Amino acid sequence: MKIRIGIYGYGNLGRGVESAIAQNSDMTLAAVFTRRDPSKLTIATAGVPVCHTDDVEQYKDKIDVMILCGGSATDLPVQTPALARIFSVIDSFDTHAKIPEHFLRVDQAAKESGNCAMISVGWDPGMFSINRLYGEAILPEGKDYTFWGRGVSQGHSDAIRRIDGVVDAKQYTIPVDSALEAVRSGSCPSLTTREKHLRECFVVAEEGADKARIEKEIKEMPNYFADYDTIVHFISAEELRAEHSGIPHGGFVIRTGKTGADSATNHVIEYSLKLDSNPEFTASVIVAFARALYRMKNEGMVGCKTVFDVPPAYLSPRSYSEIISTML
Amino acid sequence: MKIRIGIYGYGNLGRGVESAIAQNSDMTLAAVFTRRDPSKLTIATAGVPVCHTDDVEQYKDKIDVMILCGGSATDLPVQTPALARIFSVIDSFDTHAKIPEHFLRVDQAAKESGNCAMISVGWDPGMFSINRLYGEAILPEGKDYTFWGRGVSQGHSDAIRRIDGVVDAKQYTIPVDSALEAVRSGSCPSLTTREKHLRECFVVAEEGADKARIEKEIKEMPNYFADYDTIVHFISAEELRAEHSGIPHGGFVIRTGKTGADSATNHVIEYSLKLDSNPEFTASVIVAFARALYRMKNEGMVGCKTVFDVPPAYLSPRSYSEIISTML
């Protein structure tokens, strides 16, 4: 009996989830839900129903875990609590500051309906969070640092596109090598996000546009760029398409700490990701945790959970004895 | 009410556990057990009883978690099952091939006595195992690689010391940079342990000893060195003491894998450790998992567990709501 997964929202993340399900033989895609006209949506998997979100309740007994693939700004704050009343749900809600209130809303909905939910699954929040926790628990006298990149920031790319005279743009967030090295040295430097990252922009300008003015507007844009070292390249639309159409991302979680009778011994724990596709990797993490959620639900767990609640063994399709003998 | 920890065996690992307990304010050292004459053993923590291992049963109700700090070759196979009949126990049993049988023996003893036990806690087995599991679960179409070092191998150092004319020696296992780079490229190379590591030896020879013969004996030693690229340096006893008295170690767990509709997108997950003291870091990992074991036992869990059974939240002294709001 395979785990029946539903996909709610079919953008980059939804397509990534669809591919990831195909890589896991203990899972099957039960249905895809869209707000668009289902008859106009073609999905990659043959024979799987595409349904309108309005009809989702009809799938109550046909789906074991519903994976929500909407955005954190407006979709998930509404969708996750609403769907947690019908299904066991998992989302990738990534607005860090609003996680506690999202948790409470989803927890209440899941508890009232006897379902199990999991929020903020992906790599940050997600695998990076787990590594921050492991690092602090193992080395309590220490400090952890998170660096992001090299990767595309959609928000910053959009901000550049709104500048007059800009046709298209892509912005990469890049960790500063010297900051990474300072952290790895164990010296526990105080570093702001600005000191840890620089911003590199690839911009397609309108013909005849004033590039100096555009560059100035980018570099002085408050919140987005003014506080960072920013590099601006003007390139052609063809080059942007050819060289910058991917959605790579990644980053580093580094914990340094001291142990021993006089706290004089140094240790460095480093976890890093180098991802050629941010949404596909996020989807792969979600699908592994959907397996765990299915098992936790079957054990009778109810309410909202996070990656912190998941025993690693629950993520693996292998039997416990196989894990012990091959991976421990 | 602090978690009362017992230390069973007071060598490098036991001393590391003692230091780690002092870094965790929710724990207290209840007693240290030794096979030696307790009156001749002075420990670092004031006011803590040092007892003979023969008297351990008297501490049945005074210790929440007993941390076993003996060796995997002869101590733990006997001690962990025996003590699991009296206490909730945790060990760092690291003979990978014998983990399944050790698990079964400890599981039976713990179940018969209603205790909870955890085996093979440290960094490999331990944190490296967890990362192998996470990596495979997230990227099922891929391959993982474990590299060890740069670090001291006690077994290889001892093997050199047994050669005629050798006064003392220290052997470092070192990952081969080109192998690391090949793995990180995502090309999934087939690599033997030999191709992944080289061995560097610092040897103090007797005055007048035939160094060429010693070097040849080292490099041709079956199992230990014959299959590896081995570098031998002859140094003075003073230099060995000054430069090579530490017990550093570390290594890398790298998972590369592919995702997407045509499995064409590459990802690299890398977890690495750089440890100035192998036993002190191992001790710090054990102490964090002792907290988790204490909580699992209080929830009524019985039998043998491993790091794969531990929800990350159980490792942290912080409250769940604090973890959600600060680390997720």
Say yes or no to pLDDT of A177 above 90: yes
Query: Which pLDDT belongs to residue B194?
Result: 84
Amino acid at B312: P
Tokens 């790579």 locate to A248
Residue B2 CB: number of other CB atoms within 10 A?
13
Q: State the count of interchain CB pairs (< 8 A) between A and B.
A: 206
Query: Which pLDDT belongs to residue A194?
Result: 84
Of B138, B323, B325, the CB nearest to A288: B138
Share of chain A above pLDDT 70, in %: 100
The token duo for B77 is: 């196979």
Say yes or no to pLDDT of A281 above 90: yes
Query: Which pLDDT belongs to residue A190?
Result: 94
Share of chain A above pLDDT 90, in %: 96
Say yes or no to pLDDT of A192 above 90: no
The answer to whether B312 contacts A316, with C-beta atoms less than 8 Å apart, is: no
Q: What mean pLDDT comes out for the span A138-158?
A: 95
The answer to whether B325 contacts A99, with C-beta atoms less than 8 Å apart, is: yes
Query: Which pLDDT belongs to residue B223?
Result: 85
| Residue of chain A minimizing CA distance to B323 | A133
Q: What is the DSSP string of B130-181?
A: HHHHHHHHH-SSEEEEEEE-SEE-HHHHHHHHTSTTEEEEEEEEEE-HHHHH
Say yes or no to pLDDT of B182 above 90: yes
For residue A100, cis peptide bond before it (omega within 30 degrees of 0): no
Task: List pLDDT tens digits, range A68-118.
Answer: 999 999 999 999 999 999 999 999 999 999 999 999 999 999 999 999 999
| Residue of chain B minimizing CA distance to A124 | B328
**Residues of chain A contacting B271 with CB distance shorter than 8 Å:** 269-271
Task: List pLDDT tens digits, range B240-267.
Answer: 999 999 999 999 999 999 999 888 999 9
Say yes or no to pLDDT of A193 above 90: no
Query: Which pLDDT belongs to residue A261?
Result: 86
Query: Which pLDDT belongs to residue A328?
Result: 95
* Torsional class of A69: left (φ above 0), alpha (ψ -120 to 50), beta (otherwise): alpha
Query: Which pLDDT belongs to residue B193?
Result: 81
Query: Which pLDDT belongs to residue B210?
Result: 96
CB B128 within 8 A of CB B134: no
The answer to whether B309 contacts A311, with C-beta atoms less than 8 Å apart, is: yes
Q: How far is A155 from chain B (nearest CA, A)?
A: 21
Give the Cα separation of B281 and A267 in Å (integer): 8
Q: What mean pLDDT comes out for the span B111-120?
A: 98
Say yes or no to pLDDT of B192 above 90: no
Q: How far is B4 from chain A (nearest CA, A)?
A: 18
The token duo for A61 is: 């007994």
The answer to whether A259 contacts B285, with C-beta atoms less than 8 Å apart, is: no
Q: What is the mean pLDDT of chain A?
A: 96
Task: List pLDDT tens digits, range B200-223.
Answer: 999 999 999 999 999 999 999 998
Q: How far is B177 from chain A (nearest CA, A)?
A: 17
Of B24, B99, B141, the CB nearest to A324: B99
Give the Cα separation of B293 and B290 in Å (integer): 5
The answer to whether B100 contacts A271, with C-beta atoms less than 8 Å apart, is: no
Question: Side-chain half-sphere of B313: how many Cα atoms within 13 Å?
Answer: 17
Say yes or no to pLDDT of A152 above 90: yes
Say yes or no to pLDDT of B134 above 90: yes
The answer to whether A324 contacts B100, with C-beta atoms less than 8 Å apart, is: yes
Query: Which pLDDT belongs to residue B36?
Result: 94
Task: List pLDDT tens digits, range A15-68.
Answer: 999 999 999 999 999 999 999 999 999 999 999 999 999 999 999 999 999 999
**Residues of chain A contacting B24 with CB distance shorter than 8 Å:** 140
Give the Cα separation of B236 and B202 in Å (integer): 9
Suggest the residue from B95, B324, B326 to mutate for an interface test with chain A (most A CBs closer than 10 A).
Answer: B324
Give the Cα separation of B32 and B242 in Å (integer): 31
Give the Cα separation of B53 and B107 in Å (integer): 22
Residue B28 CB: number of other CB atoms within 10 A?
16
Query: Which pLDDT belongs to residue A181?
Result: 96
Share of chain B above pLDDT 90, in %: 96
Give the Cα separation of A63 and A88 in Å (integer): 9
Of B268, B306, B323, the CB nearest to A133: B323
